[in-house]
Amino acid sequence: MRQIFLDTETTGLSPENGDRVIEIGCVELLNRKLTGNNKHFYLNPGRDSHEEALKVHGLTSEFLRDKPVFEAVADDLLAYLQGAEIIIHNAPFDMGFLNKELALLGRAPLREVVLSVTDTLALAKEMFPGKRNSLDALCGRLGVDNSGRTLHGALLDAELLADVYINMTRGQEALLIDTGSSHGDGQHVQTIDLSVFKLPVLSANEQEMAAHEQVLAELDKASGGKTVWRLMA
């Protein structure tokens, strides 16, 4: 599976009000392994960044003045993303900006080019409800080193996101059941026929059954005699 971790930096928060993309960072994973085949662009947006946005990314108009415009890198970017699963933290934000850039060129939305889009912010909210789920917060929670991150940078953030995602989904590896084939790294996984195992059935003894009934009775009393198992009985 080819996965691309993508992040952008922008002049502000609203593509509909004229804000533009100024940096794109992409990190490629193939079968959950980093390939080194990454993409990184600085872009000239043709306008200044808002003051608050500048504090976040630190990319000044002077620095971006000699960088290419989005149109100049669009074909290269789309060819790179073609057919991949795109993984973004807070995907609606980055997708909104990229789709606006494409629309200005008369091009189709990004979803028509890529295989799928995964939002790690939505995934994190399901895994860690009620907690802070920013990229920095997830790095701290999952043990990903982000000590080199003083300002936001698209490529660095994409690299951190790849590490975070691998940690968030690490349990998936244990769920893979081989059918006789080999992994991509050449290591053969032994297939186990579970039907040959006969699992013993252990029945509760009288003391355990009595203790169980006592717990049920206490629950029934606490609910005012409305427990489902009593009503059905």
The total of other beta-carbon atoms located within 10 Å of residue 72's CB is 12
Provide the token pair at 100. Answer: 């606006």
pLDDT at 197: 59
Rounded to 5 degrees, what angle do the CA atoms 110, 52, 40 make? 40
The residue whose two tokens read 């040959």 is 196
Residues identified as active-site: 152
Cα dihedral 81, 83, 88, 92, rounded to 10, equals 100
Instruction: Spell out the residues 6+ positions from residue 227 whose beta carbon is closer than 8 angstroms to its own.
Output: 216, 219, 220
Q: Global pTM?
A: 0.72
- Tens digit of pLDDT at every position of the chain (233 positions): 899 999 999 999 999 999 999 999 999 999 999 999 999 999 999 999 999 999 999 999 999 999 999 999 999 999 999 999 999 999 999 999 999 999 999 999 999 999 999 999 999 999 999 999 999 999 999 999 988 776 679 999 999 999 999 999 986 543 333 444 444 444 554 555 556 556 677 788 888 888 888 888 888 787 777 777 777 76
Are 1 and 85 in contact by the 8 Å Cβ rule? The answer is: yes
Domain boundaries, the chain: 2-175, 196-223
Burial of 177 (0-12, 13-18, 19+ CB in 10 A): exposed
pLDDT at 110: 97
Architecture of the domain whose range is 2-175: 2-Layer Sandwich (3.30)
pLDDT at 156: 93
Tell me the C-alpha distance between 5 and 29, whole Å.
8
- Residue 86 has φ and ψ, to the nearest 5°, of -100, 130
